[in-house]
Amino acid sequence: MKQAQTLNDAQLKRVLQFCRTRRHTARDTTIIMVSFHAGLRAKEIAALTLGDVYDSDGSVREQFTLKRQQTKGGKSRTVYLNQRLRRQLADYATLLSLKDPRAPLFASQKGGAFSANTMTQLFLDIYKPAGFANASSHSGRRSFITNLAAKSVSVRVLAELAGHASIQTTQRYIDLNPRQMSEAVELLG
């Protein structure tokens, strides 16, 4: 099976620009940002609640725990949110009612939570018209892992962030490109 396309910064910017043309601009932009900056699977993004991401006072958490029923492997894990993603989530919160912490973070057109399948379809509905025919709901996750690997984050840390039980699984997510290869040999000076 072909792996999802990883996207570079310019391509991500193009996807985010496309999201601005969509009916649910803030929601779709935030979903893409969660995928790229937290490395979550579509199922995990669909399962997020307001209480997962926001404290009782409405502030964005620096980290939260995905419960085992929210993950693919049935194992809970901590998700860390970088500053850029926290700013996006804070902006998104201004459009939400944060009264019920059990409410879905991302509401579908019908007002309820997305299913894993409808979240996967939403990613395709964004990527295809934005010009990325080989991108899928896993593109953000693969890009997250690849980008951190390119910044010399250890594969063990990557596996933990991704929720992989095996570093071999994590290694399959990492794309290599000519720029990385060139920079690697330059380390020898």
Are both 35 and 85 inside the same structural domain? yes
Q: Categorize the per-residue pLDDT at 113 as very low, low, confident or very high, splitting at 50, 70 and 90.
A: very high
Cβ-contact 48, 114 below 8 angstroms: no
Q: What is the mean pLDDT of residues 140-150?
A: 92
| Domain annotation covers residue 106 | yes
Q: Is the pLDDT of residue 152 over 90?
A: no
Long-range CB contact pairs, 112-117, < 8 A, 24+: 113/46, 113/47, 114/45, 114/46, 115/46, 116/42, 116/43, 116/46, 116/47
Are both 107 and 125 inside the same structural domain? yes
Are both 70 and 104 inside the same structural domain? yes
User: Which domain CATH number covers 125?
Assistant: 1.10.443.10
pTM, full prediction: 0.90
**Could you tell me how far CA 150 lies from the centroid of its own chain?**
17
Are both 32 and 75 inside the same structural domain? yes
Are both 111 and 181 inside the same structural domain? no
pLDDT, residue 1, reads 56
Are both 110 and 149 inside the same structural domain? no
Are both 135 and 147 inside the same structural domain? no
Instruction: Tally helices (H) and strands (E) across the chain.
Output: 10, 2
Are both 104 and 157 inside the same structural domain? no
Are both 109 and 161 inside the same structural domain? no
- Domain, as residue range, for 39: 9-140
